[in-house]
Amino acid sequence: MNNVPQIVDKKFVKQKTLKAIIFFVLFIVACLFAWNRLQHQPKEAGALVPLRKGLDMNEWIFSHLFSNNHLSKTYAKKLAAPRVRVNGYVGLKNNNDTANWKLNLVKTIGDTLKISLADIKVMPKSEIIFDFKCIEGWNQITHWGGVRFSDFVNKYGLSKQSGLKYVGMETPDALYYVGIDMASMMHPQTLLCYEMNGKPLPMNQGFPLRLIIPVKYGVKHLKRIGTLFFANSKPRDYWHELGYDYYCGM
Amino acid sequence: MKKIIQKHPLAIRWLHWINFPLLTIMIWSGILIYWANDVYKIGFGDKTLLKFFPDSFNKALNIPFRLAEGMNLHFFFMWFFTVNGVIYFLYLLFSKEYKLIFPNKDSLKEAWLVILHDLHIKKGLPPQKKYNAAQRIAYTGIIILGFLVIITGLAIYKPVQLYWLCNILGGYEWARIEHFIITILFVLFFLVHIIQVMIAGWNNFRGMLTGFEVVKDTEVIKKEEVINE
Secondary structure of B180-204 as H, E, C letters: HHHHHHHHHHHHHHHHHHHHHCHHH
Q: B189 vs chain A: nearest CA distance in angstroms?
A: 21
Angle among Cα B121, B122, B128 to the nearest 5 degrees reads 130
d(CA A246, CA A27): 34
pLDDT confidence of residue A33: 97
CB pair distance less than 8 Å for A5 and B97: no
CB pair distance less than 8 Å for A242 and B210: no
Mean pLDDT of chain B: 90
- At residue A109, what is the residue type? I
Residue B27 three-state SS = helix
Of B38, B72, B101, B223, which to mutate for an interface test with A (greatest number of A Cβ within 10 Å)?
A: B72
Q: What is the mean pLDDT of residues B13-21?
A: 96
Which residue in the set A2, A21, A23 is minimally distant from B6, CB to CB? A2
Cis before residue A208, ω within 30 degrees of 0? yes
How would residue B23 be classed by pLDDT, with cut points 50, 70 and 90?
very high
pLDDT confidence of residue B124: 77
pLDDT confidence of residue B229: 43
Which residue in the set B37, B72, B167 is minimally distant from A55, CB to CB? B72
Name chain B contacts of A73, Cβ cutoff 8 Å: 163, 166-167, 171
Searching chain B, which residue's CA lies closest to the CA of residue A31?
A: B21
Give the contacts of B152 (CB within 8 A, at least 6 positions apart).
Answer: B169, B175, B176, B178, B179, B182
Which H/E stretch holds residue A210? Answer: strand A210-212
CB pair distance less than 8 Å for B33 and A16: no
Q: A2 vs chain B: nearest CA distance in angstroms?
A: 6
Q: What is the mean pLDDT of residues B23-34?
A: 98
CB pair distance less than 8 Å for A17 and B209: yes
- At residue A94, what is the residue type? N
CA distance readout (Å), A51 to A61, A67, A77, B61, B64: 15, 26, 40, 22, 20
Edge to edge, the sheet with strand A177-181 lists: A111-115, A103-108, A227-231, A166-170, A177-181
pLDDT of B224 strictly over 50: no
C-alpha distance across the termini of chain B, in Å: 11
Edge to edge, the sheet with strand B2-6 lists: A6-8, B2-6, B212-215
CB pair distance less than 8 Å for A1 and B96: yes
pLDDT confidence of residue A132: 97
d(CA A217, CA A133): 6
Q: B83 and chain A: CB distance < 8 Å anywhere?
A: no
How would residue B1 be classed by pLDDT, with cut points 50, 70 and 90?
confident
pLDDT confidence of residue B217: 66
CB pair distance less than 8 Å for A10 and B73: no
CB of A156 closer than 8 Å to CB of A108: no
d(CA A220, CA A12): 63
d(CA A143, CA A225): 19
pLDDT by residue for chain A (250 residues), tens only, comes to 456 888 998 899 999 999 999 999 999 999 999 999 999 999 999 999 999 999 999 999 999 999 999 999 999 999 999 999 999 889 888 766 788 899 999 999 899 999 999 999 999 999 999 999 999 999 999 999 999 999 999 999 999 999 999 999 999 999 999 999 999 999 999 999 999 999 999 999 999 999 999 999 999 999 999 999 999 999 999 999 999 999 999 9
d(CA A121, CA A209): 11
Task: Give me the percent of chain A exceeding a pLDDT of 90.
Answer: 90
Which residue in the set B67, B160, B210 is minimally distant from A214, CB to CB? B160
CB pair distance less than 8 Å for B36 and A135: yes
CA distance readout (Å), A81 to A50, A132, A220: 40, 11, 20
d(CA A209, CA A203): 10
Q: What is the pLDDT of residues B148-191, one digit of tens each?
A: 999 999 999 999 999 999 999 999 999 999 999 999 999 999 99
CB pair distance less than 8 Å for B160 and A5: no
| Interface list for B 102-141 with A (CB within 8 A) | 129-130
Burial class from Cβ neighbours inside 10 Å (0-12, 13-18, 19+) for residue A42 reads: exposed
Q: B229 and chain A: CB distance < 8 Å anywhere?
A: yes
Q: What is the mean pLDDT of residues B106-133?
A: 82
CB pair distance less than 8 Å for A1 and B206: no
CB pair distance less than 8 Å for B36 and A136: yes
pLDDT confidence of residue B121: 84
Q: B154 and chain A: CB distance < 8 Å anywhere?
A: no
Q: What is the mean pLDDT of residues B119-134?
A: 80
| Interface list for B 158-177 with A (CB within 8 A) | 158-163, 166-167, 171-173, 176
Which residue in the set A54, A62, A137 is minimally distant from B76, CB to CB? A54
Task: Give me the percent of chain A exceeding a pLDDT of 70.
Answer: 98
Mean pLDDT of chain A: 94
